[in-house]
C-alpha cells in the first residue's frame, strides 16, 4: 500500500468545476442557463469575467469535482494552450506551462514561469504544489504575462486557487470515494459560527491508492498515493472589516516514481524495458518525503467612499527528501539521492479604489526567502560521484498600480505598472569523489578527488513591467479588447554550475522577459444561451534562460550551466465556447493553437568548445501545437433529485519533452472520460461515478535522457494514469 501524506493548504470541502465563461456554472453540473456573471479577482479586485480584458479560464470547484478531477493537473483538460503535470520522478511537484512558457526543472534556485497563488498567497516552490481539488470555490487560469499585478515569475501566466469562505451558519460536508487500484478518499469539513461575525473551521482529507505498477526489484508499489491533508481557519467578518487566519500542513510519503526504460543497453537483461510502463527495476530505494506547511493572515478594512485597504501576510516552508533512479536498474548506474529545503515570508499591502468611472488597485509587495538543497550524481560504472549543494537567498520588493477609467459608457482604458527589485545571493559547492555516494549521503569512505565549484556571489535585478489595454463594451453581453503586457522571470544562479567546465557560471544569469500583444472578444449570444471567448496573441520572448550541457574532460562528470541563450516568437489563437441549447443539454469546447519558434538558441555541440546557434534544431517543450477539450452534459430529474451525464474528450498533439528531438517525445493522443452525477433535491446527498482514460491510453508526461554506455543508455519515461473508475458519495449538513 502506498504511503503518502499531504496536509494541504486548501480548505477541505470538495468542489466541482466547468470552465466558466460569462455565467456561473451550476453547482451540481446540471444544465441551467443563468444571467449571473462570473466574478473573478484576476486584477486583484472583484470584477465580472466579461469585463476583464485578460484571457481567463475560470473553473468552479463544483464542476471539477463533478468530472472526478483529482488535482490541479486536470486544468490542462479545461484551459487551452496549457500543460500541467506532475514532475518526472515525483508525486506532488508541479510542472506548469501556459502559451509555451513555464519551467521544466523544479530544482531549488530556479524560478517557475507560471505563478501559483492560493488565496492570494504566492507559492514560490513547485514541491507540494500539485493541489487536490479540495474546498475550492474556483480556480482562475490567467493566460499571458501578468507582470503588473503579480510580478516576478508569472511570465507565462498565473493560476489562482480560491478557497471557500466559512460563512455564518453551522455546516459541513463529508465525502467518501472508492475506486480502481484500491483508491480510498475520505474528506470532511466543518464550519462553526461563534457569534454573528466570527467563525472557525477545520477540514481533513485522506487519500490513498495502490500503485499502477511495481518495483520488480523491491516489490514496492509504483505510482501509488496516500494523502493526508489538514487545515484550520478562523474568520471575522463585520461587513467593513474582514480578517482571516489559516494554517495548513502537507506531508507526502508516497514512493518515488522511478519511471521505466524505453530501450535496453546491449543484451544485458537488467537493462531491458519492463512489460508494463508502470513497472521499474530501480535499485536506489523507495523512500520519499515531501512536507509543506504555512500560515497566513488576510485582512480587509473598508474606509468608505469606495476605498478599501487589504493586507496579506504569509509564512511558508517545505522539505523534500527523495530518490531518483535515472537508469532504472538494480545497480547504481546513474542514481540521484536528493534533498531540498526552503522557507519564505511574504507581505502585500493593497489600496483598492472603486469609483463610478475609476477602479484600481495600488500596493507594495515584499518577499524574503531561502531555498537550499543537495544531491549526488552517482555514475556507478565509473565508480564516481559528484556532490552538488548550495542555497539561494532572495529578497524581493515591488511597487505596483493598475487602474481602469471609463472614457465613455462603452470605452474603457486600463493601464498598470510594476517596479520590482530582486536581490539574490547564491552559494554553490560541487565536489568530485571516488566511490558510490558522497559523505553527505552516507558514504564516509568515499575518496575526495576535486572541487569543481565553491563560490558565493550576489546579484541585484531590477525590472519595470507595464500593461495597457483598451476595451469596447457596447452592452453587458459583448466585450472587444486589445492589450499589451510585459512579464519577466527573475535571474539567478545555477545550482548545478560547474566552474571547472564553465568559469562564467559564477556570474549567474539575467532575467528573461516577454512582451505579449493580444486581441480578444468575450460574448454572450442568443439570449445568453451561447457564450464565446476568442483571443489571438503574439509574444516576443527575449533572453530566455536555457540549460546548456557543457563539455568536460572528465568521464562521468555531467556538467551544465544556465545562460540567456534563447530568443523566440510565439503566436496563437484560443477559443472557449459554452452552449445551452435546451434546459437539459450543455455543450462545452475549448480549442488552442500555438506556434512557437526559436530565433536564437546558443549551445555546445558534441566535441565543440564554442557555443553555436542551433535555433533551427530546437523546439518548445511541453507545448503541443493543438489542444482541444470538449464535453456534453445531459441532465434530467431522477428520484427527486438531479441526474447529469457528462462524456468528455481531450486531444493533445505531438509534445517535445525537451528543446531537442528525443525518443521521449510524445505523439499526439486522445483521452476519453465520463462522469455520472446525482444530487438530491435538498442539495444534501451526492453520488458520482467517474471514469477517466476510458481507452486506457499510454502517454508520457516526462522523462530523462542520458544516452551512452557509461550512463547505461538511460532513456526513462514517466506516464500518465491508466484507466480508472471511482464511485463517490457525499453528504452536506
pLDDT at 625 over 90: yes
> pLDDT band at residue 697, thresholds of 50, 70 and 90?
very high
Q: Poorest-confidence range of 87-101, 354-368, 388-402, 584-598?
A: 87-101
Instruction: Give residue 557's pLDDT.
Output: 83
Q: What is the mean predicted confidence (pLDDT) over 564-575?
A: 93
**Which of 558, 544, 552 minimizes the C-alpha distance to 503?**
552
pLDDT in tens, 436-488: 999 999 999 999 999 999 999 999 999 999 999 999 999 999 999 999 999 99
Q: What is the mean predicted confidence (pLDDT) over 296-306?
A: 96
Q: What is the mean predicted confidence (pLDDT) over 551-560?
A: 76
Predicted structure pTM score: 0.92
Backbone angles phi and psi of 504, in degrees to 5:
-75, -5
pLDDT higher at 613 or 20: 613
CATH number of the domain at 19-732, out of 1.10.8.80, 2.40.170.20, 2.60.40.10, 3.30.950.10? 2.40.170.20
Instruction: Give residue 551's pLDDT.
Output: 67
> pLDDT band at residue 374, thresholds of 50, 70 and 90?
very high
pLDDT at 1 over 60: no
Each domain of the chain, given as residue ranges in start order, spans 19-732
Pairing relationship of beta strands 47-48 and 612-613 according to DSSP bridges: unpaired
Query: What is the distance between the alpha carbons of residues 723 and 691, in angstroms, rounded to a whole number?
Result: 7
What's the chain's average pLDDT?
A: 91
Instruction: Give residue 9's pLDDT.
Output: 33
pLDDT higher at 528 or 15: 528
pLDDT at 714 over 80: yes
**DSSP-derived secondary structure for 264-321:** -STT-GGGSPPSSTT-B---S----EEEEEEEEEEEEEEEETTEEEEEEEEEEEEEEE
Instruction: Give residue 32's pLDDT.
Output: 36
> pLDDT band at residue 607, thresholds of 50, 70 and 90?
low
pLDDT at 24 over 70: no
Query: What is the distance between the alpha carbons of residues 663 and 653, in angstroms, rounded to a whole number?
Result: 16
Q: What is the mean predicted confidence (pLDDT) over 47-55?
A: 89
Helix, strand counts (H, E) of the chain: 1, 39
pLDDT in tens, 123-178: 988 888 899 888 889 999 999 999 899 987 899 999 999 999 998 899 999 999 99
Q: What is the mean predicted confidence (pLDDT) over 307-312?
A: 97
Percent of the chain with pLDDT over 70: 94
Query: What is the distance between the alpha carbons of residues 83 and 67, in angstroms, rounded to a whole number?
Result: 18
Instruction: Give residue 603's pLDDT.
Output: 82
> pLDDT band at residue 265, thresholds of 50, 70 and 90?
confident
Percent of the chain with pLDDT over 90: 77
Q: What is the mean predicted confidence (pLDDT) over 53-62?
A: 91
Residue 16 in contact with residue 59, Cβ under 8 Å?
A: no
Query: What is the distance between the alpha carbons of residues 597 and 539, in angstroms, rounded to a whole number?
Result: 11
Amino acid at each position: 500500500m502506498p504511503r503518502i501524506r499531504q496536509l494541504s493548504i486548501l480548505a477541505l470541502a470538495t468542489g466541482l468545476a466547468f470552465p466558466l465563461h460569462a455565467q456561473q456554472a451550476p453547482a451540481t453540473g446540471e444544465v441551467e442557463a443563468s444571467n449571473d456573471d462570473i466574478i473573478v479577482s484576476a486584477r486583484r479586485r472583484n470584477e465580472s469575467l466579461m469585463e476583464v480584458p485578460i484571457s481567463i479560464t475560470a473553473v468552479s470547484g463544483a464542476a471539477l469535482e463533478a468530472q472526478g478531477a483529482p488535482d490541479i493537473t486536470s486544468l490542462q483538460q479545461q484551459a487551452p494552450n496549457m500543460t500541467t503535470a506532475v514532475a518526472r520522478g515525483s508525486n506532488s511537484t508541479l510542472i506548469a506551462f501556459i502559451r509555451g512558457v513555464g519551467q521544466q526543472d523544479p530544482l531549488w534556485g530556479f524560478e517557475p514561469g507560471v505563478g501559483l497563488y492560493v488565496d492570494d498567497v504566492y507559492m514560490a516552490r513547485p514541491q507540494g504544489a500539485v493541489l487536490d481539488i479540495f474546498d475550492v470555490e474556483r480556480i482562475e487560469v490567467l493566460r499571458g504575462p501578468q507582470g503588473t499585478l503579480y510580478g516576478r515569475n508569472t511570465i507565462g501566466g498565473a493560476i489562482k486557487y480560491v478557497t471557500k469562505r466559512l460563512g455564518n451558519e453551522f455546516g459541513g460536508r463529508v465525502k467518501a470515494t472508492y475506486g480502481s487500484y484500491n483508491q480510498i478518499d475520505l474528506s470532511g469539513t466543518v464550519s462553526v459560527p461563534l457569534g454573528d461575525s466570527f467563525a472557525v473551521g477545520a477540514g481533513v482529507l485522506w487519500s490513498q491508492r495502490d500503485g499502477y505498477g511495481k518495483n520488480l526489484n523491491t516489490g514496492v508499489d509504483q505510482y501509488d498515493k496516500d494523502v493526508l491533508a489538514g487545515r484550520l481557519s478562523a474568520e471575522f467578518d463585520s461587513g467593513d472589516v474582514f480578517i482571516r487566519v489559516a494554517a495548513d500542513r502537507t506531508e507526502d510519503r508516497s514512493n518515488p516514481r522511478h519511471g521505466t526504460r524505453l530501450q535496453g543497453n546491449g543484451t544485458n537483461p537488467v537493462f531491458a524495458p519492463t512489460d508494463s510502463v508502470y513497472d521499474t527495476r530501480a535499485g536506489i530505494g523507495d523512500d520519499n518525503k515531501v512536507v509543506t506547511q504555512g500560515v497566513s493572515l488576510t485582512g480587509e478594512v473598508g474606509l468608505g467612499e469606495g476605498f478599501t485597504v487589504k493586507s496579506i501576510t504569509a509564512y511558508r516552508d517545505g522539505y523534500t527528501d527523495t530518490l531518483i533512479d535515472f537508469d532504472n536498474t538494480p545497480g547504481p548506474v546513474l542514481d540521484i539521492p536528493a534533498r531540498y529545503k526552503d522557507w519564505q515570508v511574504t507581505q502585500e499591502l493593497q489600496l483598492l479604489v472603486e469609483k463610478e468611472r475609476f477602479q484600481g488597485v495600488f500596493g507594495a509587495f515584499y518577499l524574503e526567502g531561502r531555498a537550499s538543497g543537495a544531491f549526488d550524481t552517482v555514475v556507478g560504472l565509473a565508480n564516481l560521484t559528484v556532490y552538488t549543494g548550495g542555497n539561494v537567498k532572495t529578497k524581493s520588493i515591488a511597487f505596483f498600480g493598475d487602474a481602469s477609467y471609463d472614457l465613455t459608457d462603452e470605452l474603457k482604458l486600463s493601464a498598470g505598472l510594476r517596479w520590482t527589485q530582486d536581490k539574490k545571493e547564491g552559494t554553490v559547492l560541487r565536489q568530485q569523489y571516488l566511490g558510490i555516494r558522497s559523505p553527505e549521503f552516507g558514504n564516509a569512505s568515499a575518496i575526495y578527488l576535486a572541487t569543481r565549484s565553491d563560490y558565493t556571489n550576489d546579484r541585484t535585478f531590477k525590472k519595470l513591467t507595464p500593461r495597457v489595454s483598451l476595451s469596447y463594451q457596447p452592452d453587458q453581453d459583448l466585450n472587444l479588447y486589445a492589450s499589451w503586457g510585459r512579464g519577466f522571470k527573475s535571474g539567478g544562479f545555477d545550482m548545478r554550475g560547474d566552474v571547472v567546465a564553465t568559469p562564467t557560471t559564477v556570474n549567474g544569469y539575467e532575467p528573461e522577459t516577454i512582451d505579449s500583444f493580444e486581441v480578444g472578444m468575450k460574448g454572450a449570444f442568443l439570449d445568453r444561451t451561447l457564450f464565446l471567448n476568442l483571443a489571438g496573441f503574439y509574444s516576443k520572448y527575449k533572453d530566455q534562460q536555457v540549460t546548456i550541457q557543457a563539455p568536460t574532460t572528465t568521464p562521468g562528470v555531467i556538467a551544465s550551466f544556465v545562460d540567456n541563450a534563447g530568443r523566440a516568437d510565439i503566436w496563437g489563437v484560443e477559443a472557449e465556447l459554452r452552449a445551452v441549447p435546451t434546459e437539459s443539454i450543455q455543450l462545452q469546447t475549448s480549442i488552442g493553437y500555438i506556434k512557437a519558434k526559436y530565433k536564437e538558441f546558443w549551445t555546445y555541440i558534441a566535441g565543440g568548445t564554442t557555443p553555436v546557434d542551433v535555433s533551427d534544431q530546437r523546439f518548445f517543450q511541453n507545448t503541443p501545437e493543438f489542444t482541444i477539450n470538449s464535453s456534453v452534459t445531459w441532465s434530467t430529474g431522477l428520484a427527486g433529485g438531479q441526474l447529469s451525464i457528462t462524456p468528455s474528450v481531450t486531444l493533445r498533439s505531438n509534445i517535445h519533452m525537451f528543446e531537442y528531438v528525443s525518443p521521449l517525445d510524445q505523439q499526439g493522443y486522445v483521452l476519453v472520460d465520463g462522469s455520472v452525477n446525482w444530487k438530491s433535491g435538498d442539495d444534501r446527498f451526492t453520488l458520482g461515478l467517474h471514469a477517466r482514460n476510458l481507452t486506457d491510453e499510454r502517454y508520457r508526461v516526462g522523462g530523462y535522457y542520458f544516452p551512452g554506455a557509461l550512463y547505461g543508455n538511460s532513456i526513462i519515461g514517466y506516464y500518465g494514469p491508466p484507466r480508472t473508475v471511482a464511485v463517490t458519495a457525499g453528504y452536506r449538513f
